[in-house]
Amino acid sequence: MVLMKDIAAACGVSIATVSKALNNHSDIGEETKEHIRNVAKEMGYSPNSAAKALKTNRTYNIGVVFSHEDQSGLTHDFFAHVLDSFKNHAEQKGYDITFINSGKHEMRKMSYLDHCRYRGFDGVAVICANFYDSEVEDLVKSGIPVVTVDHVFHDRIAITSDNVKGMRDLLTYIYEQGHRKVAYIHGVTSSVSQGRLTSFYYTAEELGMHVPDEYVLEAAYRDTKKAYEMTEKLLDLPDPPTCICYPDDFSAFGGMNAIKERGLSIPEDISIAGYDGIRIGRHLEPQLTTIRQDTAEIGRQAAEKLVSLIERPKSTLIEQVVVEGILFKGKSVGKK
């Protein structure tokens, strides 16, 4: 194994100079740095992570909580794209990422927090989780630097989609298409669901739209079966809606099935809208009207903020970063 002293001997400099060059210190000339780096590369030098951790008091490893109740995991379009962006930007900063196992697994008895301490993570990103789980709450309350995605904890950095503006833009577009009887099948209780639901009611009020109680139903995110059932309830009403909004694009597929099985056409007989902007929605016939969430920016912001919190804890602002989505008009909301 090539050591710094070997590089120092080959270059005719001190070990301290080699260390400074490899760590890009400013008190060494660029020409010297480049020469030392080239020699190190030719000799096959690779820094020892354990030694680096002892010196810097960091492991350069970030833990990621990624656990979804419906077991969709990495097939969950929104969170998978956020994770991909987060991973790319964390790696650019020199950090590796490791998934954190839950203590609920039979083979593991460690909680999220215990796992983090065991692995010595420099920080943690909670990208997909049950934020009301006591294990998640204990982790967030610990002294480990934490950034959450799509959920806000007191005194912790959070990266969230602008759910209020997203729902406002979506309902306003539906209204502009001439719809006055709009139903909303919203997700189960969460800060995301509450933000969108409140925005739905507030926007409807601003537009002068009346929303009957029977027009607002609940179904879990990505639950096509429940969305199918709720769509049937809406279609069976004496005065059914002319447009139905769904919790997310995936659950909207269940609604589409219920509509088509009744021999109805979208958007000629009834209009629908989703939320998230997953890729498959753009390949449907008709294309799904939705809000495209900016997963790349959400992941980037989460990585940037977490690394900043790790490296500059005293000067990193604890804040909620809100990332706007974009209305994709598609073709599933017709003129009324």
Q: Does 256 lie in the same domain as 190?
A: yes
Contacts of 269 (CB under 8 A, 6+ apart): 259
43: nearest Cα among 15, 6, 13: 6
Q: Does 277 lie in the same domain as 310?
A: no
Q: Does 170 lie in the same domain as 112?
A: no
> Is residue 217 within 8 Å of 185, Cβ to Cβ?
yes
Q: Does 288 lie in the same domain as 207?
A: yes
Give the model's pLDDT for residue 202: 98
| Number of structural domains the chain divides into | 3
3 state SS for the chain: CCCHHHHHHHHCCCHHHHHHHHCCCCCCCHHHHHHHHHHHHHCCCCCCHHHHHHHHCCCCEEEEEECCCCCCHHHCHHHHHHHHHHHHHHHHCCCEEEECCCCCCCCCCCCHHHHHHHHCCCEEEEEECCCCCHHHHHHHHCCCCEEEECCCCCCCEEEEECHHHHHHHHHHHHHHCCCCCEEEEECCCCHHHHHHHHHHHHHHHHHCCCCCHHHEEECCCCCHHHHHHHHHHHHCCCCCCCEEECCCHHHHHHHHHHHHHCCCCCCCCCEEECCECCHHHHHCCCCCEEEECCHHHHHHHHHHHHHHHHHCCCCCCCCEEEECCEEECCCCCCCC
* Residue 304, in any domain of the structure: yes
Q: What is the pTM of this model?
A: 0.80
Give the model's pLDDT for residue 281: 77
Q: Does 88 lie in the same domain as 8?
A: no
Q: Does 191 lie in the same domain as 96?
A: no
Place of tokens 């680096």: 52
Instruction: List Cβ<8 Å contacts ≥24 apart for 118-122.
Output: 119/59, 119/61, 119/63, 120/53, 120/59, 120/61, 121/59, 121/61, 121/62, 121/63, 122/58, 122/59, 122/60, 122/61, 122/62, 122/95, 122/310
Q: Does 153 lie in the same domain as 74?
A: yes
* Residue 329, in any domain of the structure: no
Q: Does 73 lie in the same domain as 42?
A: no
| Alpha-carbon distances of 35 from 12, 41, 46, 199, rounded to whole Å | 11, 10, 16, 59
Q: Does 179 lie in the same domain as 218?
A: yes
* Residue 114, in any domain of the structure: yes
CA atoms of 319 and 66, how far apart (whole Å): 22
Phi-psi region of 28 (alpha: psi -120 to 50; beta: other; left: phi over 0): beta
* Residue 89, in any domain of the structure: yes
The two structure tokens encoding residue 223: 């639950």
* Residue 213, in any domain of the structure: yes
Edge-first strand listing for the sheet containing 61-66? 96-99, 61-66, 123-128, 146-149, 157-161, 320-323
* Residue 52, in any domain of the structure: no
* Residue 246, in any domain of the structure: yes
Instruction: List Cβ<8 Å contacts ≥24 apart for 20-27.
Output: 22/47
Q: Does 210 lie in the same domain as 194?
A: yes
For the chain, which ranges sit under pLDDT 70?
47-56, 68-75, 102-109
* Residue 55, in any domain of the structure: no
The CATH number linked to 307 is: 3.40.50.2300
Give the model's pLDDT for residue 106: 47
Q: Does 73 lie in the same domain as 138?
A: yes
Partners of 80 in the beta sheet? none
Q: Does 203 lie in the same domain as 169?
A: yes
Domain of 185, in residue numbers: 163-293
